[in-house]
A = this chain, B = another copy of it.
């Protein structure tokens, strides 16, 4: 690893926060630069353009979220209860105190129809997320049913994050998480 890789990662990390809170269009390169304490032009040393940067951000998020979630859901060294607890804490860490909500859903709704570059990562994110929950539910339901429940759970959670953002009330997300666990009682 060369030194400049560290800077690149820091830019991605900070940009992720700003994009998450402001959205893709609203967050200008200058805004991002200021948040990072660097000059705007530096971004063009590490990334070809704004779209490219955003793609890197989404891929970074993918790596720290659903990819990990899938591993948790597949981990057979844990009891079902431990697994549920771990997943809940993970989801809460990701979304409960994050006023920007889910950057993946935000990006789908803001850009999906005309930024083909993002679609790949976005689809992977939601597919993995659904897969993870399906795996979890398969302990109590057969595959078909588990898939429908997994999709329903992800929809419920995403809708909950949206309402949480609008009303500033955590109950929408909390209730969705509780409902997902109730499926395994």
Instruction: Give the chain B neighbours of A36 by CB distance below 8 A.
Output: none
Tell me if B179 and A151 are in contact (CB < 8 A).
Answer: no
Number of interface residues of A (CB under 8 A): 40
Tell me if B151 and A163 are in contact (CB < 8 A).
Answer: yes
Tell me if A152 and B165 are in contact (CB < 8 A).
Answer: no
State how many angstroms separate the Cβ of A180 from the closest Cβ of chain B: 11
Instruction: Give the chain B neighbours of A110 by CB distance below 8 A.
Output: 23, 25-26, 106, 109-110
State how many angstroms separate the Cβ of A60 from the closest Cβ of chain B: 19
A 136-180 binary contact with B (CB < 8 Å = 1; else 0):
000000000000100110111111101101110000100110010
Partner of A126, one of B108, B126, B166: B166
Tell me if A23 and B155 are in contact (CB < 8 A).
Answer: no
Q: Looking at A106, A158, A159, which has the most chain B CB atoms within 10 Å of its CB?
A: A159
State how many angstroms separate the Cβ of A19 from the closest Cβ of chain B: 12
In whole angstroms, how far apart are the Cα atoms of A123 and B162 in the complex? 11
